[in-house]
Structures are given as C-alpha cells and as structure tokens.
C-alpha cells in the first residue's frame, strides 16, 4: 500500500482529484486521460511539475501585459488624444483589479474547482485582450485592460492552490520560487518585450500577440490540469471586496490626480475622506463576515503578519521603481529610445530569474528571516543607486542598479511566501495566498502612484524629483527589511530532506 507522499510524486495527491483508470464516471473510456498518462510515462515527466509549468504559463500570459504600456505611455496618450496622467489608469486599474478580485476567485476555485476557474479566466482574458487591441479611446482602453486583468486574476490563486496541494511543505520552496518569479517578473518582462514591439509595430500588436497566447494556455490547461476537490459551504465576501476596492480606488485617485486638481480642492479632499470611510467600513465588514476577504486575526500571527507587511513594502519600492525607471531613461529623463529602455530594464527580471531558484536552496540553510532582511536591503540599495543616476551615468551602472531590485526581491519573496503559507492551516492556504496577492498588489499600486506623484515635476533638465522619488522607495525598502527581521525562521530540521 503506497503512502500519500509516494502517490503525490506520481500525480495522485489525495487532495487533488486526479481521474483514475482512464474511465469517467459513466464508464466511458477517457482517451485524453490515457494519452496524457502514456505521454508522461514515455518522456518521464513528473505530473506535478507538468501541472506547475502549465499554471505558471497561464499566469505569465495574463500578467505580462499588466504594466507593459509604461514604456510607451506618452506615445499612446498622444495617439488616443489624452494625457499620461489619465492613461496611467490603464496600468494601475488592472493592477488594483488583479489584487482585489483575486481572493474571490480563490474561493470560487474552492467552490467549483480550480481547473474550471483557471480555464474560465484564460478564456475571458483572451476576449478582452482582443478588445484592448481594438480600443478607440482612453476610456475603452482602461475598461478593457481592467476587465482583462480581472479575468486573469483567476490564475494566481489557482496556481497557488495547485502548488500547495501537490507539494508538501518541505518541497514548496522551489516551486514557490518559480511562482514568485512569474508573478513579480512577468510585468517587467512585458516592458522588455513591449518597448521594441511598440517601437516596431505599434502598441495594439502587443494585445494581438497576448490573445493567442492565452488561447494556447487555455487548451493546455483544459487538457493537463487535474480537477481539485470542491468544498461545500464556501461564501463570498462581496461587501468586503466592494468596500476595499472603492477605498483603494479613491485613495489612488486622490494621490494621482491631487496635483492637477489641487491638493486642497474639493475633489481631492472628497476622495480622501470617502476613501477613509470606505476603508473603515471594510474593517468593520471583515470583523463580522462569516468568510472574510481578509482574515484580520491572522495579523496577530508573527509569521503571517510580518512576511505580508515586508512583501507589501518591498513591492511598494519594487513596482514604484519599475514605473519610474522607463521615465528616467525615456523622453522625460535621459532621452533613450523605447527599445534601448527595454533592453536595459531586462536586467531586473533576468536577475530575479537567476536569483529566486538559487535563493530557495540558500534559504533552507540560512533561514527565512535572513533571506527577507537581505532581500529588503537589496531593493533599498537599488533605489539609492537610482537616486544618483544622471546624464553622465554609464549603462553598466544603470544595469547594476536595475538588477539589484531583482536580486533583492528574488531572495526575499520565495522565503517570505513559503513562511506565510506554512503559518496557516492547510485548508486556509487558498485564502492566505489570495490575501498575500491582495496586499502585495496594493503595495505595488500605491508605490506606483506615490512615486509617480513625487516625480511629476521631473524633466530632462532637472532630474531631482526623480531622485527624491527613488529615496522614498528606498525608505519603503528599509521598512520591508525591518519587518522581515521580526519573523521566526522555520527550524532547519523540519525543512531538510
């Protein structure tokens, strides 16, 4: 009789409902299932890793376009007869939707099965990617991009659910390293490929490329992903999602539009007051909700509260810097072309992709606390280096400054994510993963909005407000490092294999 552990390695984790015997419940031979198994045996593929690559592929196709317009924002704004300030919502809107709606999709996966939610998310992401390519003004582009990101946000909690169902706690570090790379790295990779594409064939081509990619991911997911168990009695926190989304949107509107409206204007003050009221209402709703969007009591747990806090501030700096760097390199700063900017920015995802898998092995030896602190310091160093970039700065220094952010987040993110997941009960992992996605996305959106606002007066002849914005990012990274210092590392004997 085989153990659950042995079954998991053969793709038969009892927590995942794999079809058995190649025969469905009606007694009909399920030929696709037999073909999948025969192929897996022939090429020696571990089913767990095949599933991992499929879900990460879907996560990438929906995530890499969220921020790729940042390099070409000024060009697209001119084409659509709007301002860059307004068009920024085509980036922050999808990021906010990705974070706020994600937890609801996590619960939907528990209720109806994560395979169904994952495939459905890719289907609608395909539809709205095509629609984004046909957008005729700023309002339609913002709408279609936000709807596409809303659909794509179904992929992240499902990916986390598959990882945590098929890999035991001692084995999760490596797959979570890849998950962290895709979630944090795909938006930056989008900038890298987006710059040359926009310069060569225009921004609409990007979404015409994304749509068939989503379609391929949909087919692979429908073919390869196993069904997951369905839980009964799952409830949705509708009012929690509404109050949080409204509060965050109003806060972002006040921050991003405050300078043009006037910081003392009725519109700015009204948005801030309504934001506070909405967020207070969110807390009150969560305290009484049967199935809250955010489980407030978890923030009394050291190894949940501090990792989440650290990741939120690290992403504040990381994504805030991500928004600023193309502007510093582009027409508002050093005057480099979009393609050159994209090639320089690639240092960040490349550094992340090399660091995250290696950091997972090192973390097992040094502990999550050390990894989190060192990672936060790495992001801080990157922000400080960028605060000194000017017209005479060489490409080598720019690449090094950019890469440091990727190194820092690559070290910290897998370690802190693993620690946070292991701090909750197995049946709460899906909700915890969605909460982690929510807080990191909120940190990223706020970082982008705050640092963009601080740097709004920067120009090619005066980069000082850019430098000030990067120092604000450095301060956030310091908070991330300090927060990581309060976690308790997993005892070494429990993670050694």
DSSP characters for 132-149?
A: HHT--SHHHHHHHHHHHH
Q: Rounded to 5 degrees, what angle do the CA atoms 60, 84, 438 make?
A: 40
Sign of CA dihedral 438, 444, 445, 446: positive
| Residues 171-228 pLDDT 10s | 766 777 777 667 766 766 666 666 677 777 777 877 888 888 888 888 888 887 877 7
How far apart CA 244 and CA 111 sit, in angstroms, is: 23
Share of the chain above pLDDT 70, in %: 82
For range 29-51, the mean pLDDT: 53
Measured between alpha carbons, how far is 386 from 369 in angstroms, rounded to an integer? 26
Q: Where exactly are the structural domains of the chain?
A: 29-237+289-494, 238-288
| Tokens at 169, concatenated | 């706690």
Mean of the pLDDT values across residues 335-347?
80
At CB < 8 A and 24+ separation, what contacts does 254-258 make? 255/446, 255/449, 255/450, 255/453, 256/85, 256/88, 256/89, 256/92, 256/449, 256/452, 256/453, 257/85, 258/453
Q: Can you read off the two tokens belonging to residue 289?
A: 């909700």
pLDDT digits (tens, 9 = 90+) for 263-295: 888 888 998 999 899 989 988 988 888 777 777
DSSP reduced 3-state for 315: helix
Q: Match 């050093």 to its residue by tokens.
A: 334
- Give the right CATH number for 29-237+289-494 from 1.10.287.130, 2.60.120.10, 1.10.10.10, 1.20.1250.20: 1.20.1250.20
Pick 359 or 138 by higher pLDDT.
138
Lowest mean pLDDT among 29-33, 68-72, 92-96, 323-327: 29-33
Phi-psi region of 322 (alpha: psi -120 to 50; beta: other; left: phi over 0): alpha
- Identify the pLDDT of residue 496: 44
**Which H/E stretch holds residue 472?**
helix 464-484
Q: What is the pLDDT of residue 380?
A: 97
Q: Is the pLDDT of residue 471 over 90?
A: yes
Start-to-end Cα distance in the chain? 23
386 neighbors 321 (Cβ within 8 angstroms): yes
Torsion angle, CA of 280/292/112/242, rounded to 10 degrees?
A: -10
Q: How far apart are CA 114 and CA 346, in angstroms?
A: 32
Q: How far apart are CA 73 and CA 78, in angstroms?
A: 9
The C-alpha atoms of residue 432 and residue 20 are separated, in whole angstroms, by 30
The residues, ordered by sequence, that sit 6+ positions from 240 with a Cβ below 8 Å of its Cβ are: 282, 285, 286, 289, 292, 293, 294
Is the distance from CB of 151 to CB of 117 less than 8 angstroms? no
Please state at what angle helix 173-201 crosses helix 338-345, rounded to 10 degrees.
170
Residue 16 per-residue DSSP state: E
Owner of token pair 């001692």: 170
> d(Cα 358, Cα 17) in Å, to the nearest integer?
32
Tokens found for residue 107: 């619960």
CA atoms of 493 and 225, how far apart (whole Å): 33
pLDDT per residue as tens digits for the range 353-399: 778 777 777 777 788 889 999 999 999 999 999 999 998 899 999 99
In this prediction, residue 430 carries a pLDDT of 63
Lowest mean pLDDT among 34-43, 238-247, 274-283: 34-43
Cα–Cα distance, 156 to 254 (Å, whole number):
29
């Amino acid at each position: 009789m085989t153990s659950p552990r042995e079954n998991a390695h053969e793709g038969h984790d009892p927590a995942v409902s794999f079809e058995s015997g190649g025969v469905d419940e009606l007694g009909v031979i399920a030929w696709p299932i037999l073909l999948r198994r025969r192929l897996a045996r022939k090429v020696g593929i571990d089913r767990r890793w095949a599933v991992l690559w499929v879900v990460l592929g879907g996560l990438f196709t929906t995530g890499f376009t969220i921020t790729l317009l940042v390099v070409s924002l000024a060009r697209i704004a001119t084409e659509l007869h709007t301002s860059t300030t307004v068009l920024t919502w085509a980036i922050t809107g999808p990021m906010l939707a990705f974070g706020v709606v994600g937890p609801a999709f996590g619960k939907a996966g528990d209720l109806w099965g994560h395979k169904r939610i994952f495939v459905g998310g890719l289907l609608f992401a395909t539809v709205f990617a095509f629609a984004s390519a046909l957008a005729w003004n700023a309002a339609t582009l913002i709408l279609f991009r936000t709807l596409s990101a809303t659909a794509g946000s179904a992929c992240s909690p499902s990916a986390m659910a598959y990882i945590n169902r098929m890999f035991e706690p001692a084995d999760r570090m490596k797959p979570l390293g890849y998950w962290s790379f895709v979630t944090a790295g795909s938006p930056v990779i989008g900038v890298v490929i987006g710059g040359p594409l926009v310069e060569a064939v225009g921004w609409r081509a990007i979404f015409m490329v994304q749509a068939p990619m989503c379609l391929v991911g949909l087919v692979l997911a429908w073919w390869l992903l196993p069904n997951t168990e369905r839980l009964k009695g799952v409830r949705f926190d509708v009012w929690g999602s509404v109050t949080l989304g409204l509060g965050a949107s109003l806060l972002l509107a006040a921050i991003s539009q405050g300078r043009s409206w006037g910081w003392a204007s009725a519109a700015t003050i009204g948005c801030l007051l309504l934001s506070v009221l909405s967020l207070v209402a969110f807390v009150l709703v969560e305290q009484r909700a049967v199935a809250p969007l955010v489980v407030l009591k978890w923030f009394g747990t050291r190894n949940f509260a501090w990792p989440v806090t650290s990741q939120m501030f690290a992403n504040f700096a990381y994504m805030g810097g991500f928004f600023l760097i193309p502007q510093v390199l582009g027409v508002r700063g050093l005057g480099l072309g979009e393609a050159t900017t994209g090639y320089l920015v690639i240092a960040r995802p490349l550094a992340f992709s090399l660091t995250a898998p290696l950091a997972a092995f090192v973390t097992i030896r040094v502990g999550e606390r050390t990894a989190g602190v060192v990672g936060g310091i790495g992001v801080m160093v990157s922000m400080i280096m960028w605060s000194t970039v000017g017209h005479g700065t060489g490409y080598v220094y720019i690449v090094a400054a950019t890469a440091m952010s990727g190194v820092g987040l690559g070290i910290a993110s897998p370690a802190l994510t693993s620690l946070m997941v292991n701090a909750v009960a197995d049946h709460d992992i899906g909700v915890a993963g969605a909460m982690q996605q929510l807080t990191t996305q909120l940190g990223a959106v706020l970082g982008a909005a705050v640092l963009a606002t601080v740097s709004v007066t920067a120009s090619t002849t005066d980069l000082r407000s850019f430098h000030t914005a990067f120092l604000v990012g450095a301060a956030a990274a310091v908070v991330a490092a300090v927060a990581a210092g309060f976690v308790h590392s997993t005892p070494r004997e429990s993670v050694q294999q």
